[in-house]
Amino acid sequence: MALSFKPIRPLLQTGTNAISRWLSYIGLGIGVLLLLCSIQMYINIQQMLKGGSIRKDGYDFISITKTVTNETMGQVEKNLFNAAEVAELKSKSFLEDVAPLEANQFQVELSAAGILPFRTNLFLETIDNSFLDTLPPGFQWVVGQTKIPIIVSSDFLEIFNVFGPSYNLPQVSQETASGIPVLITCSGDDDLEQTFQGQIVAFSDRINSVLVPKSFLDWANLTFKGKISEQSSRLYIKTKDANNPDLLNFLDQKQYKVNKDKTKFGRIKQVFQGIFSGLAVFGLLVVVLALMLFSFYLQLVIARSKESLRLLLMLGYSPGWLSKNVSKRFIPVYILIVCTALAFAQLMQWVFHHFVMYDRPELSTMVNWTVVLVAFLLALLSLITNYRLVKKLLYHLH
């Protein structure tokens, strides 16, 4: 027959100092509730702001530049990214990849080959193909080829269509624009000049530039200016989350300029995460305080039942068995406290999702599994703390 705690129970004087016991129960309940709600809100913010920026293939592509200040004005090299800075960015865990946007070193002029009375100075850039959102198969160039495939930002076409009519130019669709042959005249040192036929092969929503194949730009830079640029003024970063606080902190610290719109959710997220982290820490403190208060209550119970417990040890009761059974008495009440706090957290989440967020699909009405896990761990922590304390006190009794 298993050893029963039933005849031992009346020997523990637990009825005394009920106020201290109830205060610790209430404190623990409030602390756990605060902690669980903070964790749930933290998760809600993560989930709500996950889709806050333009994403393609699960990644954010953002252009960064150096901030040109009065001090750095006119010093081109200070406003360019060098190889070391690119390498540093590449080493960061919050970035998947980094690619410089290389620009032309020579002069470029574009005209519409007589179809449209249109002529402008232009810039050409190139970027690693993996950073392009649309990559048609014809986007390549070999030396000797007179036709250059071009990818243009769809914003540029939009702008052209806005100012075109005021210059008596027709508005054009993407399809028409792709069909218009343009002439690209490159000129460099020593009056070297060559005209190529350019053709728009795609429009990019991602990269605000006029892009040509890398092989062409490298060749042209070498041919017309005699060098390939090793520095670039713009970089594109590829990240899984443009709102990652680590990324934003890093960019701030380096004073790199970034599209604020793409990261504004991240800024809000930073603030809210700060608030809820603070609340979670506060909740944890309340839990610790409640556990301490309960430990005082337990010490009092042991002190008042000292003689009986000492006699039990003398009779041959094991201190381990006694500690386990004394702590076990509080399991139901601890589980009840944590379950009540969890139920309140669930109620709060339902109210938040239903009435505040009007059932937004990215949020869940149920609390996150992490919250349930934390609740379970807290109950376990409380029980282990009690067990260890009682065991220690019993050893001191002997």
Partner 1 sequence: MQLRIQQLLPSYFEQSRTQTSEIWGKELLFEKGELIKIVAPSGSGKSSLMNFLYGMRNDYNGTISYDEKTIRNLSLEELSRYRKDHLSIVFQDLRLFPEQTVQENLEIKRQLNPFHPVGKIKEMAERLGIGDKLGSTCSTCSYGEQQRIAIIRSLLQPFEFLLLDEPFSHLDDNNAELAMNLMLEEARLRNATIVFADLERIDFYPYTRLFHL
Residue 249: name the closest of 232, 269, 234 by CA: 269
Stretch 123-162: interaction string toward partner 1, x if CB under 8 A:
----------------------------------------
Residues forming a β-bridge with 225: none
* Shortest reach from residue 2's CB to partner 1, in Å: 9
Distances (CA, A) of 281 to 83, 89, 329: 41, 32, 29
End-to-end distance of the chain based on CA atoms, in angstroms?
27
Chosen residue from 253, 261, 314, 361 binding partner 1 by CB under 8 A? 314
Please say which residue, 192 or 311, places its beta carbon nearer to partner 1: 311
* Shortest reach from residue 386's CB to partner 1, in Å: 19
**By CB under 8 A, how many residues form the interface with partner 1?**
20
Chosen residue from 42, 99, 319, 345 binding partner 1 by CB under 8 A? 319
Stretch 2-21: interaction string toward partner 1, x if CB under 8 A:
-xx--xx-xx----------
Chosen residue from 222, 275, 313, 357 binding partner 1 by CB under 8 A? 313
Chosen residue from 171, 173, 318, 340 binding partner 1 by CB under 8 A? 318
Chosen residue from 26, 162, 228, 311 binding partner 1 by CB under 8 A? 311
Stretch 320-359: interaction string toward partner 1, x if CB under 8 A:
x---------------------------------------
Spatial strand order of the sheet with 60-66 comes to: 119-122, 107-111, 182-187, 193-204, 147-153, 210-211, 125-126, 97-103, 234-239, 60-66, 256-258
Please say which residue, 6 or 260, places its beta carbon nearer to partner 1: 6
The stretch near partner 1 (CB under 8 A) out of 172-180, 184-192, 289-297, 313-321 is 313-321
Chosen residue from 308, 346, 364, 385 binding partner 1 by CB under 8 A? 308
Question: Where does this chain bind partner 1 (CB under 8 A)?
Answer: 1, 3-4, 7-8, 10-11, 308, 311-320, 395, 398
